[in-house]
């Protein structure tokens, strides 16, 4: 819930300036607040930067005041949508069944859902990290369809605590093993306080196919620095 039209245009201008000089090895996706989707989408399209939304409803339409259906997002030019973000799970009490329904709605509309999973500090310290994340994954994923999975260790977001490369590698390896026949086709993103300072190490970690950037994405220079740290595949 950050950003204005002026800030969005400045972001797109700065990103475009960098892309005019050099291409990143990363595929870039921006998921702004709903109020900025149309304007930012217009600016990003010529840059070959994808557009995504931060959430969608589980129904395509209906009497759900304040919500957005996946077909509406498609109409605005979105190709992706985040579902089950840790903040949605925490503050809106979204459970796995709700996240799964949203992911299914996204797929039905032609969007690729980015399904988020992750454990709290208490769950990790009590040795439940894998059981919690595994349960979330099993309960949140549609049975079929192209998806992206983002691992968000809640305990490492805005807390001053950082997941080590070993922590990330272990959980991403676990997630890959739980994806079964979808493992090779599914991108795994890491989303725990990614910054320019830790991006290169994170992106070089086995089974990390990309990053879900939070606060650092508010500054175009930081976002570009993270993108530039992406190794050639």
pLDDT surpasses 70 at 18: yes
Q: Which CATH class is domain 5-228?
A: alpha beta
Residues 202-231, mean pLDDT to the nearest whole number: 96
pLDDT surpasses 90 at 232: no
Q: What is the Cα 98 distance to its own chain's centre?
A: 17
Q: In 10 A of CB 48, how many CB atoms?
A: 10
Q: What φ, ψ does residue 226 adopt, rounded to 5°?
A: -65, -45
* pLDDT of 83: 98
Per the annotation, does 215 bind a ligand? yes
Q: What is the pLDDT of residues 23-33, one digit of tens each?
A: 888 999 999 99
- 85 as an active site residue: the answer is yes
Residues 96-117, mean pLDDT to the nearest whole number: 98
- By residue count, the chain amounts to 233
* pLDDT of 161: 80
Among 183, 206, 184, 203, which residue's Cα sits nearest to residue 195? 203
Q: Residues 85, 94, 119, 172: which is the catalytic one?
A: 85
Task: Print burial letters for 214-225: b (CB count within 10 Å at least 16), e (below 16).
Answer: bebbeebebbbb
Q: How confident is the model at residue 22 (pLDDT cuts 50, 70, 90)?
A: confident
Residues 50-57, mean pLDDT to the nearest whole number: 98
| The overall pTM is greater than 0.95 | yes
Per the annotation, does 135 bind a ligand? no
Quick check: 103 and 142 in contact, CB under 8 A? yes
What percentage of the chain exceeds 70 in pLDDT? Answer: 100
Torsion angle of C-alpha atoms 225, 230, 231, 233, degrees rounded to 10: -150
Enumerate the domain spans of the chain: 5-228
* pLDDT of 233: 67
Partner residues linked to 188 by β-bridges? 149
Q: Residues 18, 104, 152, 172: which is the catalytic one?
A: 152
* pLDDT of 145: 96
Q: What is the pLDDT of residues 125-178, one digit of tens each?
A: 999 999 999 999 999 999 999 999 999 999 998 777 889 999 999 999 999 999
Structural element, H or E, at residue 150: strand 148-151
């Amino acid at each position: 819930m950050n950003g204005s039209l002026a800030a969005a245009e400045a972001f797109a201008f700065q990103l475009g300036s960098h892309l005019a000089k050099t291409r990143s090895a990363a595929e870039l996706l921006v998921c702004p607040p709903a109020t900025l989707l149309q304007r930012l989408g217009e600016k990003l399209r010529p840059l070959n930067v994808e557009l995504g939304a931060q959430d969608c409803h589980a129904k395509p339409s209906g009497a759900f005041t304040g919500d957005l259906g996946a077909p509406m997002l498609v109409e605005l030019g979105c190709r992706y949508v985040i579902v089950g973000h840790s903040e949605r799970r925490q503050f809106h009490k979204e459970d796995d069944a709700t996240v799964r329904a949203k992911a299914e709605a996204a797929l039905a509309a032609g969007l690729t859902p980015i399904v988020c999973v992750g454990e709290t500090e208490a769950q990790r310290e009590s040795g439940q990290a894998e059981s919690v994340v595994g349960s979330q994954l099993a309960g949140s994923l549609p049975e079929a369809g192209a998806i992206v999975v983002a691992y968000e260790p809640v305990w490492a977001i805005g807390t001053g605590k950082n997941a080590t490369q070993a922590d990330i590698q272990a959980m991403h390896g676990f997630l890959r093993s739980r994806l079964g026949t979808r493992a090779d086709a599914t991108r795994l993103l890491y989303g725990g306080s990614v910054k320019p300072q830790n991006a290169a190490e994170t992106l070089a970690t086995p089974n990390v196919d990309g990053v879900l950037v939070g606060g650092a994405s508010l500054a175009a220079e930081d976002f570009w620095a993270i993108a530039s740290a992406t190794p050639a595949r």
